[in-house]
Each structure stands twice: as C-alpha cells, then as structure tokens.
Amino acid sequence: MKVVDFLKHKREYLAKHPFELKDWMSPTIKDYWIEFLNKANNIHIISWVKEHKRTANGQQNEVVQPEPIEMNLDTQAVFEELTARLGEEIHVGDWAMMDQERINNFGAVTEDMQWIHTDPERASAESPFKTPIAHGFLTLSMLSKLTDNVGSDNLLFPTAKMTVNYGLNKVRFPYPVKAGKRIRARSTLMSVTPIKRGLEIETEVKVEIEKCRRPGCVAVSVIRLYF
C-alpha cells in the first residue's frame, strides 16, 4: 500500500471511529485531564466575557464612571500647594538622638534584646561596628516624629484635623544607625491624590545619619490627611 493510500485509509477510519484521548488514560490521570479541561474552558469563558461584556439584550454595558471627589477649601488649598511641588523635597526634620536608652527600651517592648543592640561591652569587642546599633524597626517607628506628622509644634500639615499612617510601599535599611548618633528625616513628595474627606500623600523618606554619607533608612511612606 502506498503512503498516500495508507494516510487516506487512516483518515477515513478516524472519521468513523473518533479517537478519545481520555479512553486510553487510567482513572486517576483521566480525572486530572478532565479538571484541566474544565479550568481551560473557564479561563476561556472569563476571557470572552471580559472582552465582550454584553448584556442579555445584546447591548454594550455602560462603563461606570467614578464619582468625582469634592474637596472643601482647606483640602483644595493643600492639594494645589502640594501638586505644584511634586518631585521636590518638602520637609527636613529636626535632629533626634538615637541613644542607648531609647534602643534598650525598644528592645524590651519588642522582645528583641540581641547583644548587637543592647550590650555595649560585647558590641565593642565582637561587632564590626564596635558599638551597639539601633534596630531597623526602631528607626522606622520614628518616622512619624521625624517627619513632623504628629506630636510637634511645627506640624507639616497644620490644617489637617487628623493624620493617619496608611502604610509603606517600600522599606530599606542601607546603613546601621549606631548608638549615640543623631538622625533626621528628609521627605520628597511623590504623589498627592484626593480621597473622600481628604488627601492621600506618598513621600520618599530618607533618614539621614549625622556625619554619614549613607542613610539609615529609606521608605516610601503613605499617609492620609483628613480635613
């Protein structure tokens, strides 16, 4: 039989006797195969729905537009001021002392009393820094004070009724803060977004160590101001 005739014969045979892959599978593999096909079909259906988004009568769904944010006078004033300063350094805080007492108190509260933080004698003998260093999270926890967002006579946003720490998008500790060093924060404005009854502000905060080229902490801070 010629090759052409053989292929023609097989094609006719397969047309009369459809081949089902699952018929050749063991029961366990067959279950996995059926589950795979169901997931594939679901993904296809979801993709189709996203692309077409039709209602039952065949009409295109209307895109729901978000309601505009209404700002009061105080909010509007701060928003306009900050929008004009995007990308600029908007704050340099006062120096704060990172002394051993502060480090010990933080270690006691957080139950992190590692000798590299709390034992000056051992740190002097064994640590590469030759002195205790502050916990990275201690430096981070001081951002509210260092950025004058709370507890200051010179608040950065004095017209806001309330300032809420909304979180951090990125945190790094490039260099340890040694006990006895002073630190301060420098804040660069990254974005300002109107929200209900206020503003969401994103800043890059660098914690500067006195007489040190590298910062002790770099964090992208997100706060919300309510007016």
- Residue 125 within a domain: no
The enclosing H or E element of 30 equals helix 27-52
Is 139 found in the same domain as 30? no
Asked whether 183 and 92 are in contact (CB, 8 A), the reply is: no
Share of the chain above pLDDT 70, in %: 70
Which residue bears the tokens 């030759």?
Answer: 130
Q: What is the CATH number of the domain that holds 200?
A: 3.10.129.10
DSSP 69: P
Quick check: is 192 in a domain? yes
Burial status of residue 148 (CB atoms within 10 A of its CB: 0-12, 13-18, 19 or more): buried
Neighbours of 26 (CB within 10 A): 8
Can you tell me the distance from the alpha carbon of 84 to that of 64, in angstroms, rounded to the nearest whole number?
Answer: 30
- Residue 211 counted as domain residue: yes
Kindly state whether residues 93 and 175 are assigned to the same domain: yes
Q: Which domain holds residue 84?
A: 73-99+134-226
Strands (E), the chain: 89-92, 96-98, 162-172, 181-195, 198-209, 217-226
Residues 92 and 176 in one domain: yes
Q: Are residues 85 and 171 in the same domain?
A: yes
* Total domains, the chain: 2
36 shares a domain with 92: no
**Are residues 37 and 143 both part of a single domain?**
no
200-224: per-residue pLDDT in tens?
Answer: 999 999 999 999 999 999 999 999 9
Does residue 66 belong to any structural domain of this protein? no
Distance between CA 113 and CA 104 in Å, rounded? 8
Q: Does 204 lie in the same domain as 148? A: yes
Residues 13 and 91 in one domain: no
Q: Based on the domain organization, do 138 and 37 belong to the same domain? A: no
Tell me how far apart the alpha carbons of residues 45 and 29 are, in angstroms, rounded to a whole number.
24
- 33 and 86 co-located in one domain: no
195: left (phi over 0), alpha (psi -120 to 50) or beta: beta
pLDDT by residue (tens digit) across 134-186? 999 999 999 999 998 666 677 888 899 999 999 999 999 999 999 999 999 99
Residue 61 lies in a domain: no
**Could you tell me if residue 105 is inside a domain?**
no
Specify whether 80 is located in the same domain as 9. no
Residues 172 and 93 in one domain: yes
Burial 80-94 (b: 16+ CB within 10 A, else e): eebeeeeeeebbebe
Give the span between the Cα atoms of 176 and 214, in whole angstroms. 9
Q: Which residues, listed in sequence order, are joined to residue 119 by a DSSP beta bridge?
A: none
> pLDDT (tens digit, 9 = 90+) per residue, 100-132?
999 999 999 999 999 999 999 999 999 999 999
Residue matched to tokens 């009061």: 72
Q: Note whether residue 127 is domain-resident.
A: no
Residue 30 within a domain: yes
Size of the chain, expressed as the number of residues it contains: 227
Q: What percent of the chain has pLDDT over 90?
A: 62
Shortest CA distance to 143 belongs to which of 173, 119, 115, 114?
173
